[in-house]
Amino acid sequence: MVTARIAGIGAALPPTYTQDQLWEDVFRWHFSRSRVAQRIFTASDVRTRHSATDPAEFKAVADWSTAERMVRYGEVAPPLGLEAVRNALEAADTDPEEVGLLAVVTCTGYRTPGLDIELARMLPLPADARRLLIGHTGCHAALPALATAADYVAAHDRPAVMLCLELTSLHLQPATIDPGQMVSHALFADAAAAVVVKPGAAGMRVVDVAARTDTDRRHQMTWDITDLGFRMGLSAEVPDALAEHVGPLVKDLLGRHGLDVRDVAAWAVHPGGPRILDAIEEGLELGPSALAASRKVLAEHGNCSSATVLLVMQELGPQDGPVVALAFGPGLTLYAALLAPAE
């Protein structure tokens, strides 16, 4: 039986800005010197993050139409995605001509011909390579996309590439007193991250993927298309919902393979924010250092939507024991992936 393994991870990061710099130069004035906003920025646990949009443009971007934002996405996304994919291919010692599937994940920009076509041209990919665009799924999208790539590799014995690329800076919203918007603007950042999944290669094996969706809480996390870009809706109840569901999800996934939480060597958890990481620690009864990689990624990169869990996996590197990756998004949806070292 063909085993699908993560052979390489690569990232491409736009310019870095400190959280203090963004607050002092942009958001202090955007939120009219709001003390609530300042407390939210201070409590975000983000020290630096990346933006493909120059902060000097933020005031103008907040008034851009969605069409104007999509034009900028079409200009910025292809070179950034190309860099991430090339870095992943190099890490996996894989040539673009070998790739049978390119899966592109994004919830921050669309056009047709799209990013997948541009990458197929720029790499270039072979003419028979399959392309899959997974759009508007949200922060958890990397894990269902990884499952799809692994299934393709297992079925076709051919490498697959999965790219997550998010330009959240293009969706800066007009000034508001809504604390939810303050939280979003304090956390979200831009990044591209890619993985190469290969048959029988060295690297962590994709063992299984599980999902859990609470549709009764579907309104707690939203990503609405408006005339002024995409607007995030985030309920303060989300961390409690995740704490409730993450235990049953992970225990079911691990139990299918004769494992439990104590057997997990490392955790790659999407750092949606500090309260979300606290909730996962509580729901899984983890020690204070279990999510150190996720907290480091949050501090250094912010929440880069779908790309973030891949940055955490890259931070962890190969492990000697099982790894569980977790990510969360609209639905309300939780995804978990079980990875294991070579047998």
* Residues acting as catalytic residues: 139
Structure tokens at 232: 């995030």
- The C-alpha atoms of residue 276 and residue 296 are separated, in whole angstroms, by 14
Task: Tell me whether strands 4-12 and 16-18 are parallel, antiparallel or unpaired.
Answer: unpaired
- The C-alpha atoms of residue 254 and residue 263 are separated, in whole angstroms, by 9
What letters, b where the CB count within 10 A reaches 16 and e where it falls short, cover 120-152?
beebebeeebeebebeebbbbbbbbbbbbbbbb
- The C-alpha atoms of residue 204 and residue 312 are separated, in whole angstroms, by 14
Task: Tell me whether strands 323-329 and 266-269 are parallel, antiparallel or unpaired.
Answer: parallel
- The C-alpha atoms of residue 208 and residue 89 are separated, in whole angstroms, by 23
What letters, b where the CB count within 10 A reaches 16 and e where it falls short, cover 227-236?
ebbbbbebee
DSSP conformation letters of 287-342: -TTTTHHHHHHHHHH-B-GGGHHHHHHHHH---SS-EEEEEEETTTEEEEEEEE--
* Cβ contact 272:303 at 8 Å: yes
229 Ramachandran zone, left/alpha/beta (phi>0; psi -120 to 50):
left
